Structure 1
Amino acid sequence: MLRILNDVSLSALVAGFVAVLIGFASSVAIVFQAAQAAGADSNTIVSWIMALGFGMGATCFFLSLWYRSPVITAWSTPGAALLATSLGTISYAEAIGVFVFAGILTLLTGVSGLFDKVMRLVPLPLACAMLAGVLFKFGLSIFDSMMSDVFLVGIMLITYLVSKRLVPRYAVLFVLVSGVAFVLAKSDAQLMSTIPFALGSLVWVWPEWNIGALIGIGIPLYIVTMTSQNIPGVAVMRSSGYQTPVSPLISWTGLTSIMLAPLGGFAFNLAAITAAICSGDECHKDPKRRYIAGLSAGVFYGLAGLAGTSVVALFSIFPATMIAALAGIALLGTIGMNLKNAMADDSNREAALVTFLVTVSGVSFGGIASAFWGILFGVICLLISNIRLK
């Protein structure tokens, strides 16, 4: 406990809060759609939010504490998007069975050590290029958002540039404060009073098994979660210098999914976007003290789950342009660092560039996300370039 208190910093606490804010506000609407497609009523939807908050909170806090590195987990956003378009033909109990099945596959992948072995074969420049490609659209979102709300985003960007110059450790904090202040100044004074402050309740439903759903929905849910979330999540840790063993992390997310699936925790995985916020220099100059951001995120995720409906209503106050700009600005340093690492080595530069371009393109074959194909194309390019001709 004394070590944790000595390692606590305001910048790391803010990084954890910003990660939770962006994680919830950027994709909670997709989770609502997935829950509705499964046939969940309003009380059950609240149970989903609570289960997801508790699951992410527990895994962030305890895994970060155990490994002394910023281990950030998240719900599977692409998985939620898949479920929103795939669950309409089965019962809610059968949907729970799908979640449990996907969690079992994830657990087996972690326990077997297969995922860790595969990721160790990927050269660091390619991992950095893939991560830069995943994050690239968030950097562009700053200026896309500026087209819709030039004053809000302009103030946030200027705040970042000035504070980065004067107080770099707290740049993201000042960006957050400036954005919130601007939104509240423009909003109705009674806006905050409309937020309901009440605790939700958990709804347990036992799974039922539909073989067609397990194969047709469960396996795709597992695949998109592994390729779109866990692969970039590992790349974040590796690019930031953390050699945290991956297999136990994958195993714990799979086990968490199995345990919380009956409550609505459809899929947990390693985070990429929010993890990048908690593992960069903006979080703390000392990499050994950035695990505090993981503890912070865990606490805020737990509070978000406990509050349930109130938190969702609170996040709905902030406009999408503010959330998009905040995410992009918070990730600028990470994008630049990964582009630099990806292109620094002449022997890997072309393969890294291919990886980056394929990932940015968003290309998808067989429902598998571009992050996977970016790595695959880059490895193929690297192998061909290393063939020695006689």
Structure 2
Amino acid sequence: MSRSELQQPVSAGIIAMVVGYTSSFAVVLTGLAAVGANRHQAASGLLALCLTQAVGVVWLSRRHRIPIVLAWSTPGAALLAGMSAVDGGWPAAVGAFMLAGVAYVLTGFWPALGRLIGRIPAPIAQAMLAGVVLELCVQPVRSLVDNPGAIVPIALVWLIGVRLAPRWAVPAAFLTAGIVIGIDMIRRGEGIASSSLLPELSLTAPSWTWEAVVGIALPLYIVTMASQNVPGVAIMKSLGYDVPWRDTIVTTGIATVAGASAGGHSVNLAAISAALAAGPDAGPDKSRRWIASQSAGATYVVLAASSAALAALVAVAPAGVIATVAGLALLGTLADSLEGSMSQRKGREAAVVTFLVAASGITAYGIGSAAWAIVAGLVVHGVLHWSPKGRG
């Protein structure tokens, strides 16, 4: 294989990871902080996700010789960002992450579990996700009113990026946010201690509470399966690759369990990143595109080194800056979720109810709105579609 032929898949893998990482790491840090992680634990989570994904990507792509890419669950992180700390705090959240990983492993070995989750109507799952991310997507508007000097440049760069290079719009917005943060630090005469820039794993012993199991683990599992793993398989299929379901889902589950105590919330099959690494940009020879996944794995390791620095930068950001980047990063997710939730005209009242309950942000009996939204949506769906036995 010539150098030019090798360069194309290698660069595609690097670009896919850089775009995916810079487009959503702020959502991950926000989500982990929302469920109780401090700055060091959130940085550790980002580091753990990168390392476990790197190992999984290299293993799967080399084993099957197809461009499989793993990623963290951005919808799952958005789900966490719309929550608050549950009974048991951060250790309970870590326990919930582990249970989600165990559920992925069981899904790989026990297809019936996957079929059971598949029976949840897609509009309800999409409506839950839309309701959860709505609050995050509203944050740029609120931040614009409260701190226009910092937010306007970020929003303008994002808008220009969407017009000229959509793939790079959010990374460009984050870069602008970094400049805004730097200017603010100079103005205040503050700095970041060099010791805060060194990545390290912060391990937490898990605990298990029923509030965390129902309120975090279950919604995290559902939204990741519905919004990441299933679409990821479909995207790979459209590109001409059959994903080895059992191997892939079991690997993501093991990776999730392995990284949970360090703060990693969920590893799963990539969707958008998969299209970048497995598509034509990775070279004309489809049999050699798996090399893009190998370079993606190596890129994850390099990006892992930035986890602590990014968390430190987030910690000193002016009010609303990181919330704005996270909100802009999730606009596409919100649009896709709203479209999916309203895709079926018949019985869409169930999706609307699901959306409203999720968006309400309520907590009852220690369980957050995401879980209650699924319950409410399924109840309404069941009533609307129920018919007496024997009725013609």
1:355 positional shift:
1.9
Unaligned ranges ≥5, structure 2? 238-242, 283-289
Tell me the residue number matched to 1:210: none
1:228 to 200, 211, 219: 219
Does residue 265 in structure 1 map to residue 262 in structure 2? yes
Unaligned ranges ≥5, structure 1? 36-44, 89-94, 208-212
Does the CA-based 8 Å contact 2:277-2:293 persist in structure 1? no
Q: CA separation of 1:250/1:53 partners in 2, compared to 1, >3 Å: closer, same or farther? A: same
Tell me the residue number matched to 2:287: none
Counterpart secondary structure, 2:344: coil
Does the CA-based 8 Å contact 2:353-2:376 persist in structure 1? yes
1:64 positional shift:
8.1
1:132 to 130, 133, 139: 130
Counterpart secondary structure, 2:222: helix
**Further displaced range: 109-118 or 324-333:** 109-118
Counterpart secondary structure, 2:357: helix
1:55 to 43, 52, 63: 52
For 1:309 and 1:21, the matched residues in 2 are separated by: 13
Does the CA-based 8 Å contact 2:61-2:68 persist in structure 1? yes
Tell me the residue number matched to 1:169: 167
So what's the TM-score if we normalise by structure 1? 0.69
Listed as ranges, the matches of 1:334-353 within 5 Å are: 334-353=333-352
Residue-by-residue CA offset, 1:262-320 (whole Å, 9 max, x unaligned):
xx435642479xx78x5699x7996997x999989866654465566545334434345
Does the CA-based 8 Å contact 1:342-1:352 persist in structure 2? yes
1:245 positional shift:
7.5
Residue-by-residue CA offset, 1:134-170 (whole Å, 9 max, x unaligned):
2212211111222332222222222222332233333
Residue-by-residue CA offset, 1:344-369 (whole Å, 9 max, x unaligned):
32114222212211222234455444
Tell me the residue number matched to 1:42: none
Does the CA-based 8 Å contact 2:39-2:315 persist in structure 1? no
For 2:30 and 2:55, the matched residues in 1 are separated by: 20
Opposite residue 266 of structure 2, the aligned amino acid is N
Tell me the residue number matched to 1:41: none
Does residue 24 in structure 1 map to residue 29 in structure 2? yes
Listed as ranges, the matches of 1:89-104 within 5 Å are: none
The total of aligned residue pairs comes to 361
1:182 to 166, 180, 203: 180
Tell me the residue number matched to 1:91: none
1:160 to 135, 138, 158: 158
Does the CA-based 8 Å contact 1:115-1:246 persist in structure 2? no
Q: CA separation of 1:221/1:172 partners in 2, compared to 1, >3 Å: closer, same or farther? A: same
Q: CA separation of 1:129/1:170 partners in 2, compared to 1, >3 Å: closer, same or farther? A: same
For 2:305 and 2:326, the matched residues in 1 are separated by: 24
Listed as ranges, the matches of 1:196-345 within 5 Å are: 196=195, 199=198, 217=208, 220-237=211-228, 238=230, 241-242=234-235, 251-256=250-255, 258-259=257-258, 264-265=261-262, 268-270=265-267, 278=272, 302-303=301-302, 305-306=304-305, 309-319=308-318, 321-345=320-344
Tell me the residue number matched to 2:240: none
Tell me the residue number matched to 1:92: none
For 1:382 and 1:103, the matched residues in 2 are separated by: 28
For 1:59 and 1:80, the matched residues in 2 are separated by: 30
For 2:40 and 2:177, the matched residues in 1 are separated by: 30
For 2:254 and 2:350, the matched residues in 1 are separated by: 35
For 1:365 and 1:187, the matched residues in 2 are separated by: 40
Identity %: 24
For 2:338 and 2:136, the matched residues in 1 are separated by: 14
Does the CA-based 8 Å contact 1:69-1:294 persist in structure 2? yes
For 2:156 and 2:231, the matched residues in 1 are separated by: 28
1:370 positional shift:
3.0
Residue-by-residue CA offset, 1:315-344 (whole Å, 9 max, x unaligned):
434345221111111221221222123213
Does the CA-based 8 Å contact 1:100-1:258 persist in structure 2? yes
